[in-house]
Structure 1
């Protein structure tokens, strides 16, 4: 089982961070499109080749995020209509997320088989996540999923603070 760590800086305006292994070597580089439409994140491997891409769909009634791995769309995260609490669903062929993904404590299954597990690291400066990869063939997809969920959470937090200022 391989362990990876995602650590985001609290005051990072350029939306860049790395994914490290247990020896603290950089394995993936994540870069967001600061102040651009559509909002995107690019994930590159150690050779600096893009292996995954996350895009927020613009001009849609409800937010949608699309995740591509190696040039193929593997999943989408969509917001559903709800009056009290934000409801999101993850649409992916053969991929299922079980647990509390809003609090970043969940397992990832592919066709019913555990392929990874994600947990939030507490008492750290900024958001830090531990990602345990059971099936290394799914490593890039799991990393992209974590980044996409974190992007959804940031988008939701931004929308909530925008409504607070307008009232």
Structure 2
């Protein structure tokens, strides 16, 4: 099992951050497009080669994000219409997310088998998300899903703040 850490509230105007391993080494680099349409986040390996891409669909009534890993679309995250609390649907090629992903405490399953889990860590490397990879073949997919969910949350927070003014 491998463990990674993603610092909480990682999305800034520059949209650049790293994913660290348990020894605090940079393992993945995430870079967001700034002031570009469509909004994208690129997940890169230590050699700075793109291994995943998260794209926000433009001109959509409700927000929708696409997650590609190694050039193949793996899942979509779609906001559902609701009046009270923000609700999202995650659809993927045999991939499910179970648990409270809004609070970053969930499991990622592929065809019913747990391949990764995410939990909020309060007293490590600043407040961060701990990502445990149970199936190493799914490492990039799991990291991309966590980054995509954080992107969705950041987008929702920005929309709420923009509408509150």
TM-score interval, normalised by the smaller of the two chains: over 0.9
Which sections of structure 1, spanning at least 5 residues, go unmatched? none
CA–CA separation in structure 2 for the residues paired with 1:27 and 1:93: 25
Question: What does residue 52 of structure 1 align with?
Answer: 52
TM-score (norm 2): 0.94
Question: What does residue 75 of structure 2 align with?
Answer: 75
1:91-128: CA deviation from partner (whole Å, max 9, x where unpaired): 01211111100000000111111100001122578752
Question: What does residue 157 of structure 2 align with?
Answer: 157
Deviation (angstroms), 1:9? 6.5
Which sections of structure 2, spanning at least 5 residues, go unmatched? none
**Poorly superposed stretches of 4+, deviation over 3 Å:** 8-12, 123-127
Q: How many residues align?
A: 165
TM-score (norm 1): 0.93
1:67-111: CA deviation from partner (whole Å, max 9, x where unpaired): 000000000000011111111010012111111000000001111
SS in 2 for 1:161: helix
SS in 2 for 1:145: helix
SS in 1 for 2:44: strand
1:125–1:59: structure 2 CA closer, same or farther, 3 Å change rule?
A: farther
The residue correspondences of 1:14-163 to structure 2 (distance < 5 A) are 14-122=14-122, 128-163=128-163
CA–CA separation in structure 2 for the residues paired with 1:161 and 1:125: 27
RMSD: 1.7
1:10–1:136: structure 2 CA closer, same or farther, 3 Å change rule?
A: closer
Deviation (angstroms), 1:26? 1.2
